[in-house]
Amino acid sequence: MNGDIHPPAAVLSLLPGKKVFCSFSGGADSLALLLFLTELRAESFFPLEAVHFEHGFRGADSLRDAEFCRNFCVEHEIPFLLFHIDAPGKRQKGEGDEEAARRLRLEYWQKIVFNPENSLVALGHHADDRIENVLLRLFRGSNASGLSSMRAVQKLGRIVFIRPFIGISRQEIEAFLRARGIEQWCHDATNRSCVYRRNFLRHELLPSIKKEFPFALAGIRQSVRALETDASCLEETARNEFASLRRDSTAERWLALHPAIRTRVLRHFIQAATGENFVPDSKLIARFSRALESPSPGGLNRVPLRGYPAWELRIANGKVFMLNLEKNDRSAAVRWKPETEEAVEAGNLLFRSEILPPEQVYYTTDKSSAYFDADKMNYPLVISLWRHAEHMVPFGKTSPVGLKKIFSDAGISSVERDRYPVVRLPDGTPVWIPFVRNSAFASVTPETQRVLRLFALQEHLKHQR
């Protein structure tokens, strides 16, 4: 039914039961992709919706392309969404047109795809795009993951992007359209301008290479496939290392990682904290490595993140951690009524609660949970950072102990303490420091009828809410 179009099996296996959003510019590649998905959905049973981004770069021509896309979808009974994103007006300092448009599209996808676990975003990138991408990234000094970044299946944040045509040439795509009687599609005039580096590759460099080395393009495609295989192995190793390291993030463990793995673990580490698709550049990687190898005599190394002024990567007293500078505000406090509000966020933690009968309570020992007699608690609870000169009566004790000493006994340095919110009663009395110690207030006894369990999830586990 689909002629010579044969998408990767990894893409086809994802389609059944998922809602597919197709990025539809009106060009030959996205038009062919939308047609292909339209034909395929009859077999694979998935809802399909076309999304067009009008970037605001080309005035009336851009608006005509948007109208073409709308009319095509109306004719073929495909749901259609149009977004005017004004890339020229929202371009950030140092961004080119393509970079700004790419960033804004990703921001919009994060808003459009409201159920990412059951959705896919289909992009029309093809084999020729992949060759251009690998050359651009090669010139910028990318590693194997960067060189093979344009993949058939790619997850950015919580959104899964698919590229069914990644192994198919532009020529094959146009043949697919003509076989269906389609000879007209949108042509972006900027694609012919060599002001854009990608167009210089497409119209000047690659034709010259092909003329001198007829086998070159096939060779580049094969190299990218080999790089993707190598990168996938490194990335899987990095994911496993991250799963272990995030619970015990010591500088010693970071230093023990092979540099190729450390770079990829660092990406996971930063993304888990910021929630953003952050890719460490070579300067950040080099600075972080130097800080690991030669710690500051004062015991504190700060590594800022370019483009993310609210966050800082820190190394202190042998520990590596992320600090949110905006949340690190002692005046900020979160009020919480656990019996009516199941979850709240404070600092880098998500707090949740549940009321249980005593016989159903399973007491954990990892200090991520605290248990109280629900009928003896006072609300609302207040969550904020610790303050000097505060005291708490720890569970199992009868006399108050300074929070400073509680942190010290737990091996938590003064630099790290701002990462630990304190849960207090309405009068300000501390009752729990997550992952450190809980108080003796409202302890569970044999007479307790209802147990209030408070528990905290770290940043990288917040999706489990």
Residues 319 and 338 in one domain: no
**179 membership: H or E segment, kind and range:** helix 170-179
Q: What is the pLDDT of residue 286?
A: 94
How many CB atoms are located within 10 Å of the residue 1 CB?
8
Residues 147 and 210 in one domain: yes
**In this structure, is residue 408 part of a structural domain?**
yes
Q: What is the pLDDT of residue 195?
A: 65
For residue 330, name the pLDDT band (cuts at 50, 70, 90).
very low
CATH of the domain at 150: 3.40.50.620
Residues 92 and 190 in one domain: yes
Residues 209 and 272 in one domain: no
Which of 324, 350, 375 finishes a domain?
A: 324
CA distances from 390 to 38, 394, 407, 413, 432 (A): 64, 13, 12, 17, 12
**In this structure, is residue 236 part of a structural domain?**
no
Q: What is the pLDDT of residue 20?
A: 96
- Look over the chain and give the mean of its residue pLDDT values, rounded to a whole number: 87
**pLDDT single digits (tens) 216-239:** 999 999 999 999 999 999 999 999
CATH of the domain at 445: 3.50.40.10
Q: What is the pLDDT of residue 3?
A: 53
CA distances from 331 to 54, 197, 327, 334, 385 (A): 43, 48, 10, 10, 8
> How many structural domains compose the chain?
3
Residues 203 and 270 in one domain: no
User: Which has the higher per-residue pLDDT, 416 or 445?
Assistant: 445
Lowest-confidence segment of 82-96, 172-186, 430-444 by average pLDDT = 82-96
Residues 277 and 399 in one domain: no
Residues 292 and 344 in one domain: no
Residues 17 and 163 in one domain: yes
Q: Is the pLDDT of residue 325 over 90?
A: no
Which of 272, 299, 324 finishes a domain?
A: 324
Residues 136 and 257 in one domain: no
Q: Could you give the CA distance from residue 10 to residue 22 in angstroms, rounded to a whole number?
A: 17
Which of 205, 220, 235 finishes a domain?
A: 220
**In this structure, is residue 229 part of a structural domain?**
no
Q: Could you give the CA distance from residue 10 to residue 286 in angstroms, rounded to a whole number?
A: 35
Q: What is the pLDDT of residue 143?
A: 93
**pLDDT single digits (tens) 77-111:** 999 999 998 888 888 877 888 888 898 999 899 88
**30 membership: H or E segment, kind and range:** helix 28-44
**In this structure, is residue 113 part of a structural domain?**
yes
Structural domain of residue 118, as residue ranges? 9-220
* 24, 32 contact by CB (below 8 A): no
Q: Could you give the CA distance from residue 281 to residue 96 in angstroms, rounded to a whole number?
A: 18
Residues 208 and 289 in one domain: no
**pLDDT single digits (tens) 245-264:** 877 889 999 999 999 999 99
How many CB atoms are located within 10 Å of the residue 115 CB?
9
Residues 42 and 151 in one domain: yes
**In this structure, is residue 178 part of a structural domain?**
yes
Q: Could you give the CA distance from residue 25 to residue 109 in angstroms, rounded to a whole number?
A: 15
Lowest-confidence segment of 11-15, 115-119, 298-302, 383-387 by average pLDDT = 298-302
